[in-house]
Structure 1
Amino acid sequence: MSKKLKVPTLKEIEDNFSEWVDDPERFEVVKKRNEQFKAAVKEGKINMRVNNADLLLLMLKADEKGMGYQTLLSSLIHLYVNDKLVDVSEVRKVVTLPKKIGKGATTKKRA
């Protein structure tokens, strides 16, 4: 029967790092600790209160995109925390979009 190893905390590893470096058995313990950390970080759960009208609109937007509302909300949070969520009204202040061309008109010059 294999010996069960206690998985140390990150602080225990940091405090005793020199003892851990060259020991293969301890290396496996550190590896297991890292896997546990990755699993814990992979997905978290939250409970929150949301205005019913906002929740309904979120559900409608998610349905338009063919995804679940929780997936859409998770995506929005991810974009926000990574500074990739863009405020369209701010973009419009900076970028000038071309005017709409009437029906049948073309932007190409004819030779």
Structure 2
Amino acid sequence: MALLRVLLSLLIIGAAVVLGALFTLQNTAPVPLDLLVVQLSERAVALWVLLFFAAGCVVGLLGGAVVNLKQRAGNARLRRQHKKLELEVGRLRRFGLSESD
């Protein structure tokens, strides 16, 4: 199963590289980029598109990492609360109280 996952990953990465290369070869017209405050020099359209695509991927990964960290912190808090409540239920059962009381 791990071999299949590796092969599938290599296939997807290879296809992305080939498509990126074809996209770059087809879009070679030089264009300046004006970002309201800064005007960048002329580069190929494909370069600008691929750079901003990569920047978007990085921003998306960072956003996902922030959400993941928040969820892990919430899960840890809930685990601590669960453990604390289990101890309290155990103490109450030792004193003769049950859930139906």
Interval of TM-score (by shorter of Structure 1 and Structure 2):
under 0.3
The structure in which a higher percent of residues are helix is: 2
The structure in which a higher percent of residues are strand is: 2
